[in-house]
Chain A
Amino acid sequence: MQKSSMIVRHRLFDRLCHWFIVVTAFFTILSGFSFLYPSFQWMGAVLGSPQLARVLHPFTGVLMCFTWMLLLIRYYKHNKFQKQDAAWMAHMKDVMLDNEDKIPPAGHYNAGQKMLFRMFILTSVVLTVTGFIMWQPYFAPHFSPEVVQWAIFFHALCAIVLLLGLIVHVWMATWIEGSIAGMLYGKVSRAWVRKHHPLMLDESEQEKH
């Protein structure tokens, strides 16, 4: 395959951000899981002893969330809802069954990804805000017990919602072959774009001119 048949989908900075989030999320999610499900405390062992995991979780979480928010800002322009998104949503079944001919064209991101994007915005913000409120011993003492208790609740709620979204993210990334290579090396083939994000071709053409 010649070089010209490859199209840039993710720039180097964005790719570095993405994989930095993956690494910090690995530690944050496993340790967070160990606090939510005490029976699975061993999952927190990725950050050392349970005590150490408790100390480090907010720091890996902050590193994760701030990079994540930066990436969300950078990808915002690709995630505005557009006319074609409703048609795509209506053909969700064909998307899932890979009925290629029946899937309405999508841009840089399809409607499903755009919904996931909004879920990521919501959870990243709520997890960060509630995380600071419940952070012992630095911030929690400055809030009333009532506020801290609700922060703990919404932190857990958003963590579960995030995990559900993350399962979908990983599921789709591994199913749509070529996606992970795209996020690792930045480029996807022209045929890949034509199948999954045909309108992205127009978008990248527009950007050139």
Chain B
Amino acid sequence: MSARDIILRSGTSELTPPAQARHAVDKVAKLFDATLCTGCKGCQVACSEWNDLRAEVGTFQGSYQNPMDLSSECWTLMQFHEVMDDNKFHWNFTHTACMHCDEPSCLMACSTEGAIFQRADGTVDFDADKCIGCGYCTTACPFSVPKLSPKDHKAYKCTMCSDRLAAGLEPSCVKTCVTGALKFGTREDMLFLAEQRVAQLHANGKTKAGIYNPAGVGGTGMIMIFEDITNPEAYGMPKDPVVSKPNTLKQDWLKPLGTAGIIGMAGLALVHRIAVGRNRVQEDEQNNGSEE
């Protein structure tokens, strides 16, 4: 991957965009079909294998899920949601990793130039060397994906195996998936497959099945199929994830207005000083010790 592949960089404005020459690159996506997932954790293991991550083995928390949350050393996690439907128990498995949003809230909140960037293929990635550890991305992400490392205080998350994509391979989680619950391709193709699959599910009587590709973050580079799209929370996914509102307010309103205010006030001070001149006290010619 080269700098020419980067189309969006954190800490920059529209005045200084990164390279825009490669606009013909297709956006890619992972397609996670929850209705096909068996919760084997193959994706979780493949992720740690390929990325050389070895999260500490946790303790039993009453769930098959382990660790209980993503971390700086666990970029893909199999979530086990226990659901009771009509007195019948079943699992909702969720392949949890970065959603690679089209409008990445993390990138917009980042305090550092180029520490978070988006490539022409739509993948969002972090540059650990530039990361300063402010943690803005960890709270701005509507999916709570980026995590700060307790060891080096830098933020980490799924890279969509950008090193594999550069070599023309699919992400390691997709490569290892045995049931076909994970697929990889262009975003267009994945949406086409997803629609076909949902139509099939509807025909099978699962009329609530649908595609999770939230518009509040501009669509995502991980598209999901849920058996009940009306209740994504049952899969641990937010219903209407949006780009961070406090951050949008800060970047789009506070900073332009604040900058104008700072420059205006400094300018006013300078003009005043030059126009009005010095403000000096005429000291008494004789000493005024006798005044009292």
- Residues from chain B with Cβ under 8 Å of A86 in the complex: none
Task: Decide if B135 is an interface residue (CB 8 Å cutoff).
Answer: yes
Interchain CB contact under 8 A, A145 and B272: no
- Residues from chain B with Cβ under 8 Å of A98 in the complex: 276-277, 279
Q: How far is the CB of B41 from chain A (nearest CB, A)?
A: 26
> How many A residues are at the interface, by size bracket?
35 or more
Task: Decide if A125 is an interface residue (CB 8 Å cutoff).
Answer: no
Interchain CB contact under 8 A, A178 and B281: yes
Interchain CB contact under 8 A, A149 and B254: no
**What are 9 A-B residue pairs whose CB atoms fall within 8 Å in the complex?**
A36-B111, A38-B113, A39-B12, A96-B276, A148-B139, A160-B262, A190-B284, A190-B291, A191-B288
At the interface with chain B, which of A9-17, A71-79, A106-114, A161-169? A161-169
Task: Decide if B148 is an interface residue (CB 8 Å cutoff).
Answer: yes
Contacts A2-B287, A38-B112, A191-B283; is A153 near B249 (CB within 8 Å)?
A: yes
Contact with B along A18-53 (1 / 0, CB 8 A): 000000000000000001111101000000001101
- Residues from chain A with Cβ under 8 Å of B279 in the complex: 98, 175-177
Q: How far is the CB of B8 from chain A (nearest CB, A)?
A: 14
A153 vs B287: C-alpha distance in the bound complex, in angstroms? 55
Partner of B11, one of A38, A51, A145, A164: A38
Contacts A140-B135, A177-B279; is A149 near B247 (CB within 8 Å)?
A: yes
- Residues from chain B with Cβ under 8 Å of A167 in the complex: 262, 265-266, 269
Interchain CB contact under 8 A, A175 and B273: yes
Contact with A along B94-121 (1 / 0, CB 8 A): 0000000000000001111100000000
Q: For residues 132 through 149 of chain B, which have their beta carbon under 8 Å from a beta carbon of chain A?
A: 132-136, 138-141, 144, 148
Interchain CB contact under 8 A, B139 and A140: yes
Extra A-B contacts (10), CB below 8 Å, given A167-B269, A178-B280? A2-B289, A38-B113, A39-B13, A50-B112, A145-B139, A163-B262, A174-B273, A175-B276, A177-B281, A190-B291
Interchain CB contact under 8 A, B250 and A153: yes
Contacts A137-B150, A149-B140; is A192 near B281 (CB within 8 Å)?
A: yes
Q: How far is the CB of A6 from chain B (nearest CB, A)?
A: 10
Which residues of A are at the interface with B, using a C-beta cutoff of 8 A?
A: 1-2, 4-5, 35-39, 41, 50-51, 53-55, 96-98, 134, 136-137, 140, 145-146, 148-150, 152-153, 156-157, 160, 163-164, 167-168, 170-171, 174-178, 189-192, 195-196
Interchain CB contact under 8 A, B244 and A149: yes
Task: Decide if B258 is an interface residue (CB 8 Å cutoff).
Answer: yes
Contacts A153-B249, A160-B261; is A54 near B132 (CB within 8 Å)?
A: yes
Task: Decide if B255 is an interface residue (CB 8 Å cutoff).
Answer: yes
Contacts A1-B287, A98-B279; is A136 near B249 (CB within 8 Å)?
A: no
- Residues from chain A with Cβ under 8 Å of B250 in the complex: 152-153, 156-157
- Residues from chain A with Cβ under 8 Å of B13 in the complex: 39
- Residues from chain A with Cβ under 8 Å of B76 in the complex: none
Contact with A along B248-259 (1 / 0, CB 8 A): 011000110010
Nearest chain A residue, comparing its CB with the CB of B144: A145
Contacts A4-B289, A136-B153; is A164 near B262 (CB within 8 Å)?
A: yes
- Residues from chain A with Cβ under 8 Å of B276 in the complex: 96-98, 175
Contacts A145-B144, A177-B279; is A51 near B133 (CB within 8 Å)?
A: yes
Interchain CB contact under 8 A, B12 and A53: no
Q: How far is the CB of B283 from chain A (nearest CB, A)?
A: 5
Task: Decide if B282 is an interface residue (CB 8 Å cutoff).
Answer: yes
A164 vs B244: C-alpha distance in the bound complex, in angstroms? 26
Task: Decide if B278 is an interface residue (CB 8 Å cutoff).
Answer: yes
Task: Decide if B246 is an interface residue (CB 8 Å cutoff).
Answer: yes
Task: Decide if B10 is an interface residue (CB 8 Å cutoff).
Answer: yes
Nearest chain B residue, comparing its CB with the CB of A4: B289
Interchain CB contact under 8 A, B247 and A153: yes
Q: How far is the CB of B23 from chain A (nearest CB, A)?
A: 24
A50 vs B114: C-alpha distance in the bound complex, in angstroms? 13
A190 vs B281: C-alpha distance in the bound complex, in angstroms? 10
Q: How far is the CB of B263 from chain A (nearest CB, A)?
A: 10
A99 vs B194: C-alpha distance in the bound complex, in angstroms? 76
